Amino acid sequence: MDQDIKISVNNLYKVFGTNIKQAMKMLDEGHEKEHIHEKTGATVGVQSAGFDIRTGEIFVIMGLSGSGKSTMVRMLNRLIEPTSGQVLIDGEDITAMSDDQLVKMRRKKMSMVFQSFALMPHLTVLQNAAFGLELDGADKKAREERALEALDQVGLAPYAQSFPKELSGGMQQRVGLARGLAVDPDILLMDEAFSALDPLIRTEMQDELLKLQAKVKRTVVFISHDLDEAMRIGDRIAIMEGGRVVQVGTPEEILQNPADDYVRAFFRGVDPTNILTAGDIATDSQVTIIATDGKNPRAALQRLIKNDREYGYVIDSERKYLGLVSADGLRDLIDQSDREPRLTDAYIKEVVPAPATASMQDILPEVAAHPSALPIIDENGKYLGAISKNLFLKTLHRNQPEETADTDQAAIEGV
């Protein structure tokens, strides 16, 4: 087993209702969940879910309401008992744990942050933050010390003696976060933790989480229905639909290569310019000119004419980016110079290569400013490819409903 895997979900099912056996049998036979509900009255919450969550990553489980994401996260700490399948945490199957083991695991290894905050109204902020430690039997002094530290991390130490109802929503959720952090868990389960907050506070809390994550790498399982949020904080995303996990991948992977129409529809409204980097979209389809000693402007011009291109990207034998030349520029250089022209004189100085890590948003001005495609280099200065206006627009367009016609067709056939 891979050491880096913190949580491993294998073939997990949850069926709610009374006719569970029959429903499971029908699922095996490949019936749809709607059909099963009609026949047996049982509701399929999660079916054949499987994925691995790596140590220290923020893993976002995303889906619309009813997709089973809340059920899924509650099966990770067995607040909801799975119908079948395995949840391995550090290689231990929690579905096979006794009540005592389960309580111990919940106290030591994981904590949870809730959408509705779920703070105890009869306890002060400090007592709330210390709640997990209190359950574990820590003595008052030790637990309040740790709770105060946790409150300090989220900037709420001055409010330790207040009651939750005296705080704003954002502050209450900070207390919820502090309660989760105070027990120093390996795993933090966050169930739509920021969804009840207004957008500004939500972003602030996301930053807070990323900041905390930068200090201590915990494994965070974050449930969200908000794609922007998922993209912003997620190292990897699992997309759920109708109880199934339809795709798992990094935001870029999913955005670039959606598994099906559902995922694509999800990403339709998303602005890709903040998510995709120059390195993600650059293609090596431009003409490259390798500047060896023998190459002179004439040979470069020949190559451009032969390929019917206006611009050429000059690289060395190790693919290190040197400069950009245009056919016109080369012609002028050859015509004007009295001595042997050098390729370096033809470089177009205005075009500065962009790093692969720059977002689409960042490179937009440069792409727009020059008729040539913008060269993209990696951190070692190696040429990765270029981004033309055309390519840029195409990337934007890919997230628009390009297959409307197809889905309409399917809908008609379905009728």
Partner 1 sequence: MKFFTFEEQLIPLDSWIQTFVTWLVMNYRDFFQGIKIPIELSLQGLEWFFTTLPPVVIILLFTVAAWRFGGKRVALFTVLSFFLVGYLGLWRDTMITISMVISSVFFCALIGIPLGIMSGRSDRFQTFLRPCLDAMQTVPSFVYLVPVVMLFSIGTVSGILATIVFALPPIVRLTSLGIRQVHPELIEAALAFGATSGQVLRKVQVPLAMPSIMAGLNQTLMMALSMVVIAALIGAGGLGNPVVQGLNSLQIGLASIGGLAIVLLAMVLDRITQGMANR
Residue whose CB is less far from partner 1, 135 or 305: 135
Stretch that binds partner 1, among 87-95, 115-123, 232-240, 329-337 (CB under 8 A): 115-123
Considering the complex, what minimum distance in angstroms separates the CB of residue 101 from partner 1? 11
Considering the complex, what minimum distance in angstroms separates the CB of residue 114 from partner 1? 6
Considering the complex, what minimum distance in angstroms separates the CB of residue 118 from partner 1? 4
Residue whose CB is less far from partner 1, 195 or 288: 195
**What is the gyration radius of the CA atoms in the chain, in angstroms?**
28
**Near partner 1 by CB under 8 A: residue from 34, 91, 93, 103:** 103
Site for partner 1 in 150-179 (CB under 8 A): 179
Q: Does position 112 bind partner 1 by CB under 8 A?
A: yes
Distance CA 106, CA 132 (A): 9
Q: Does position 142 bind partner 1 by CB under 8 A?
A: no
Stretch that binds partner 1, among 44-52, 129-137, 339-347, 366-374 (CB under 8 A): 129-137
Site for partner 1 in 179-198 (CB under 8 A): 179, 183, 189
**Near partner 1 by CB under 8 A: residue from 52, 90, 134, 226:** 134
Q: Does position 114 bind partner 1 by CB under 8 A?
A: yes
**Near partner 1 by CB under 8 A: residue from 64, 96, 135, 410:** 135
Residue whose CB is less far from partner 1, 26 or 112: 112
Residue whose CB is less far from partner 1, 117 or 313: 117
Distance CA 295, CA 254 (A): 42
Q: Does position 111 bind partner 1 by CB under 8 A?
A: yes
φ, ψ (nearest 5 deg) of residue 223: -95, 135
Stretch that binds partner 1, among 32-40, 134-142, 158-166, 389-397 (CB under 8 A): 134-142
Site for partner 1 in 61-100 (CB under 8 A): 77, 79
Instruction: Tokens 């976002």: give the residue.
Output: 60
Stretch that binds partner 1, among 118-126, 323-331, 355-363, 380-388 (CB under 8 A): 118-126
DSSP, residue by residue, 193-246: TTTTS-HHHHHHHHHHHHHHHHHS--EEEEEES-HHHHHHH-SEEEEEETTEEE
Distance CA 119, CA 122 (A): 9
DSSP 259: S
Residue 172, classed as helix, strand or coil, is helix
Q: Does position 121 bind partner 1 by CB under 8 A?
A: yes
Q: 61 with 243: CB under 8 angstroms?
A: no
Residue whose CB is less far from partner 1, 118 or 299: 118
In 76-186, the DSSP E strands lie at 84-89, 92-93, 110-113
Helix (H) or strand (E) holding 333: helix 327-336
How many C-beta atoms surround the C-beta of residue 199 within 10 A? Answer: 11
Considering the complex, what minimum distance in angstroms separates the CB of residue 132 from partner 1? 4
Q: 60 with 238: CB under 8 angstroms?
A: yes
Greatest alpha-carbon pair distance for the chain in Å reads 92
DSSP, residue by residue, 290-326: E--TT--HHHHHHHHHHHT-SEEEEE-TT-BEEEEEE
Residues forming contacts to partner 1 in the complex (CB under 8 A) are: 77, 79, 103-108, 110-112, 114, 116, 118-122, 131-132, 134-136, 179, 183, 189
